[in-house]
Chains A and B, each alone.
Chain A
């Protein structure tokens, strides 16, 4: 999924930022209560979770970027 995420990051540059967290080493991952990887979590400008995609779902990922860009 890395090429897809990189492409969407470029496409939505200045509108939606991407933060990569290693679920095995970064303790921040525990705050999200994830059930598996990869997991993509979208936050609005208040830091509130507005969507979550579990697994490699390219269509869902694109929809998540679109929704986050409208925030």
Chain B
């Protein structure tokens, strides 16, 4: 859109003119922010806005400012508050799994040892399981 203050083409996605800083009012006449002038030359100095000559086409704005990307926050992204490795649950599950594996190995080893109390005269023995009926 055309800035009513400096007559330069500026983005209608922004609230102020890219060239002179005047406030843009969408769909109606805009009101330029009055330039009060520097009260303190050391701190309040403001560079005068670029004023295109009559009939001159102002240079297009950069893509970043044109699409409003320049206002994207650039700081580090916040980390998740409670990641999985900061909770005790996965460690507890891992400990229980290891204990279960150890217990199963011990039980299997015991079963594999056999029961020599059932042997007769320390010989290989055939157990005959019968019924009276």
- The reply on B63 being an interface residue by CB < 8 A is no
Q: Considering the chains assembled together, what is the distance between the CA atoms of A43 and B123 in angstroms? A: 9
Proximity bits, A28-68, B CB within 8 Å = 1, else 0: 11011010011111111111111000000000000011001
- The reply on B92 being an interface residue by CB < 8 A is no
Given A19-B118, A47-B114, A47-B116, A42:B124 Cβ within 8 A? yes
Size band of the interface chain A makes with B: 35 or more
- The reply on B115 being an interface residue by CB < 8 A is yes
Majority SS at the chain B contact face: mixed
- The reply on B112 being an interface residue by CB < 8 A is yes
Interface residues of B (CB under 8 A from A): 112-133
Check if A41 sits within 8 Å of B127, measured CB to CB.
yes
Task: Give the chain B neighbours of A64 by CB distance below 8 A.
Answer: 126
Task: Give the chain B neighbours of A5 by CB distance below 8 A.
Answer: 126, 128
